[in-house]
Structure formats: structure tokens, C-alpha cells
Amino acid sequence: MDGNPKSGKKPHKEETRLVHGGRRPSEQYGFINIPPYRGSTILYANAADCLAMRNRFTYGRRGNPTMEALQDLWTELEGAAGTVVCPSGGSAVSTGFLAALKAGDHVLVTDSTYRPTRNLCNNFLTRMNIETTYYDPMIGGGIAELIRPNTRLIHMESPGSQTFEVQDVPAIVAAAKARGVTTSIDNTWATPLLFRPMDFGVDIVINAATKYPVGHSDVLIGLVSANEKLLPDLQLAHGELCLYVSSDDIYLTLRGLRTMKLRLREQGANALKIARHLATHKQVKKVIHPALPGSPGHEIFKRDFKGSSGLFAIELDARSDAEVIAFLDNLALFGMGYSWGGYESLAVPFDCTSFRTATAYNPDGRGIRLNIGLEDPDDIIADLENGFAAMAKAKG
């Protein structure tokens, strides 16, 4: 049996789609997993087909069965019209932007956006004569006042990078639709399993699949999905930028996706247990986790999200670098490094006081972002306690 439900049948639940989506065993000699097809040239059967470019696949860059499997599975999960595969999450952001924008346009971007998205706007888009205005992530329907005649795109990211503000997506989409403005969202934190932007009317959905879909810290890859209206523009931009992702990387992404729901459920539960522990900790000034009361946009999170993932932030009751260093260097289970969404726990310091422009970020303490992995949460808590003990000593 092939994986895709035939039309007319009741759509399958997410767990089932993740297992069966994008698979066509009958076309692969019965093998469960589609292999990584490698190749630039794809041969035509005869001259007439070649002249008419009549082939299921015409050139390696334009697609192969491995790529198509990922596109089909992800499109189904997002409830989108189609998906393009990009070489990284960052390139998924730039592809989404370039699909929607042209010279002379104005774009509204949340002040809580991923830093490289800000760099794209401030530098590359500026050179292309596209102007960016950053807005308060909590602006909601107030975004209407920032829309100009040449505003073409409103970009959201929810929860925001590092500071985890949950945005009022329905209110922003309503304001955008009233003025014919396209909307996009970086949905990396939630994935379509915890928040499905297409159900809220967003036009373009971006995911750094490097994170939860891959889940094992071994591949960089990005996915951009669009509704019927924006899909032609998205496919055109992706094709003209000549983006290509190796089938080996796509194979690993497909492998990761089969277990994504389980990992997200486990990592989300572990993170919540640890966040709750930290919320009452004397050496923690603040825990920023969308599922905890007091986190920015918590009420919106409760209204719109199906659950939380494994990434959140804390502000340590620490003043000096020495205290932060003592804390981090005495964690045995946490790696220190960028990216997240893998099966292993990570801790990195952050500070976004210097680059926010629409909103001031005034931390109560030193910011640490935690990616919670699949370790036992009690082991993680004990490990954090070792860090806190060292931090207290460093305070003297």
C-alpha cells in the first residue's frame, strides 16, 4: 500500500501521515525507504520526448523522487499547496522573501526575528531597494497602522528567536488581508505539529528543518511552503535562484521526520518539567517559556498552539561574566553551540539588547537559551544544579 490517502477517504491523523507520507514502495521494488537518488542528468526515452521535455523529472536540480517524497510529506503536514526544499533554514527565509518582494517594496518584520533574517533585511534587501520596518512582536492588529501603500509582505516569527514572544497571528493576518498584503512566518519552533500557520491564513510558511525535522544535528536544510496563491511565485524564485539540496541530506530529513512527533512530545514534556523547576529557582530571575504564565503572549499561546517544543530561555541571577562562565562550564550534559532541535541538550548565552530597534529588550539577568534533548529530565535538573552551585561560588 502506498502512503498517500486516496481522495475521498478520511484524511489520516498526523502520526499516520508522518509514517506513510511521501512513500511509494510500489515504485521502489517494495523497499520501505525511498533511496537518495543522485544525479544531474535524467535520460529521455527518445528524441520526441527530449524535444518536448517530456519526462517525470527533467534535471537533477528541478527534482528527483527523493526530493518529491519530502515535498509531498511536508506539504501534507503543513496543509499547503506545495513546498520547495532549500539548502538551509536561512536560505528558506531568503527564498520566501525573494518570492514575495521586488524593488521598491516595503516589508514589515517582527523585531524578535532570527538574527540572520535581520541581516538579510538590513543589508541585502536594502541593496535591492527594499525597505524594512521592524515592529513590536506583540503589536497584534495594531500592525494595520504600519502598513504603507507599498507594503508587500508582513513577516512573523512566533515564538520569537531568543525572547519567545508569541504573536497574534490571526490579528496580523486579518490586518494584512484587509490591505492585500502577503504574510509569511518562520515557524521553526513549533513545526506544523504544534502550530499550523496555513490554518490561520498565512501565505508562506518557513521552517528551518535543520532543527526538529532532522532532529539529529547532522543536516542543514530548509522548507518553504505556500498556499495556491503564492506557490507559483515561490517555485519561480526557488527555480531561478537555482537552489539544490543533496538527496543524502533529504534522505536524512525524511528519516528524522518519521519520528518527529515522538521526539517533539518527549522534548516538549522534558523542557516543560525543567522550565517549571527553574521558575521557582532562587538563582533564576526569569524563565521565558511560552507555556508558562507571564511569558510574553502566553494567552495567545494557549489559544492557538497544540503544545510546546524543547527550546526556551532563562535569565540567570548573575552580574558578571565569571558567574555565567562558572554556570556553563559546570554543566556536563549540556553542549555549548548554535542551532537546536537535536536529541541532545544545549546551552548558549544570548544578549539581544544591542540590535533590537522597535522594542527595547531589558533583561533582569544574564540570558541563557536552553535546548532540551531526550535525556532524562531529572538528570538534566541535577546537572543544572551543579551549574548553579558553581555560579554561587563564583559570586563569592
Ligand X SMILES: *Cc1c(COP(=O)(O)O)cnc(C)c1O
Active-site residues, by number, are: 61, 114, 186, 211
Q: How far is the CB of 391 from ligand X (least distance, A)?
A: 27
Q: What is the 3-state secondary structure (H, E, C) of 243-306?
A: CCCCHHHHHHHHHHHHCHHHHHHHHHHHHHHHHHHHHCCCCEEEEECCCCCCCCCHHHHHHHCC
Closer residue to ligand X, CB minimum distance, 259 or 339 = 339
Residue 168 or 249 with smaller CB distance to ligand X: 249
Rg (CA), the chain: 22
Q: Are 152 and 106 in contact (CB under 8 A)?
A: yes
Least separation, in Å, of the C-beta of 121 and ligand X?
Answer: 13
Q: How far is the CB of 220 from ligand X (least distance, A)?
A: 4
Taking the complex as a whole, the smallest distance from the CB of residue 119 to ligand X amounts, in Å, to: 12
Cβ(338)–Cβ(348) under 8 Å? Answer: yes
Beta carbon of residue 252, minimum distance to ligand X (angstroms, whole number): 13
Classify residue 51 by burial, with Cβ atoms within 10 Å: 0-12, 13-18, 19+: exposed
Q: Tell me if the bond preceding 159 is cis, omega within 30° of 0.
A: yes
140 or 160: CB nearest ligand X: 160
Alpha helices per DSSP H over the chain: 14-20, 47-51, 65-78, 89-100, 115-119, 126-127, 169-178, 191-194, 231-240, 247-258, 260-279, 298-304, 321-329, 377-395
The residue whose grid cell reads 527565509 is: 93
Cβ closest to ligand X, residue 90 vs residue 197? 90
Per the CB < 8 A criterion, the answer to whether 95 and 243 are in contact is yes
One-letter identity of residue 5 = P
Q: Tell me the C-alpha distance between 310 and 157, whole Å.
A: 17
Q: Which residue is nearest to ligand X (CB)?
A: 89
Closer residue to ligand X in complex, CB, 88/183: 88
Nearer to ligand X, 118 or 258 (CB): 118
Total residues belonging to the chain: 396
Question: Residue 392 CB, nearest distance to ligand X (Å)?
Answer: 32
In the complex, which residues of this chain contact ligand X (CB under 6 A)? 88-90, 93, 114, 157, 161, 186, 188, 208, 210, 220, 222, 339
Cβ distance to ligand X smaller for residue 75 or 88: 88
CB of 184 vs ligand X, minimal distance in Å: 12
Planar angle of CA 183, 361, 181, nearest 5 degrees: 10
CA torsion, points 342, 343, 349, 354, in degrees to nearest 10? 30
Are 111 and 155 contacting, i.e. CB atoms less than 8 angstroms apart? no
C-alpha cell of 287?
Answer: 524563565
